[in-house]
Amino acid sequence: MAAPQKNPGYIDAHVHVWTPDLKNYPLAEGFVREDMKPPSFTPEELFSHARPLGVSKIVLIQMSYYRYDNSYMLDMMHKHAGSFSGVAVIDENSRPAETMLEMKAKGVRGFRIRPQSNSPQQWLRSEGMKAMWRCGAEHGLAMCHLIDAKYLPSVDRMCREHPDTPVVIDHFARIGIDGVVREHDIQALCNLARHRKVSVKTSAFYALGKKQAPYTDLLPMIRRLLDAFGPERLMWASDGPFQVVNGHHYGPSINLILKHYPDLSAGDRQWLLRKTAARVFFS
Residue 256: CATH number of its domain: 3.20.20.140
For residue 3, tell me if it sits in a domain: no
Q: Do residues 179 and 145 make contact, with C-beta atoms less than 8 angstroms apart?
A: no
1 within domain boundaries: no
Tell me the pLDDT band of 53, cut-offs 50, 70 and 90.
very high
Number of domains in the chain: 1
C-alpha 169/C-alpha 189 separation (Å) is: 9
Residue 111 lies in a domain: yes
In whole angstroms, what is the distance from residue 229 CA to residue 193 CA?
Answer: 5
The pLDDT of residue 7 is 66
The model's confidence at residue 262, banded by pLDDT at 50, 70 and 90, is confident
Neighbours of 34 (CB within 10 A): 7
**Domain assignment present for 119:** yes
Residues 2-40 pLDDT 10s = 444 456 799 999 999 999 999 999 999 999 999 999 999
Give domain status of residue 183, yes or no. yes
Does residue 52 fall inside a structural domain? Answer: yes
Residue 5 inside a domain? The answer is: no
Half-sphere exposure in the Cβ direction for 154 (13 Å, CA): 18
Q: What is the pLDDT of residues 115-162, one digit of tens each?
A: 988 999 899 999 999 999 999 999 999 999 999 999 999 999 999 999
* Domain encompassing residue 196: 10-281
55 pLDDT higher than 60: yes
pTM value is 0.95
Q: Is residue 2 part of a domain?
A: no
Q: CA-CA distance, 168 to 110, in Å (whole number)?
A: 9
The rounded distance, in Å, linking the Cα atoms of 172 and 189 is: 8
Nearest CA-CA partner of 115 in 70, 88, 81, 151: 151
For residue 173, the tally of other CB atoms under 10 A from its CB is 24
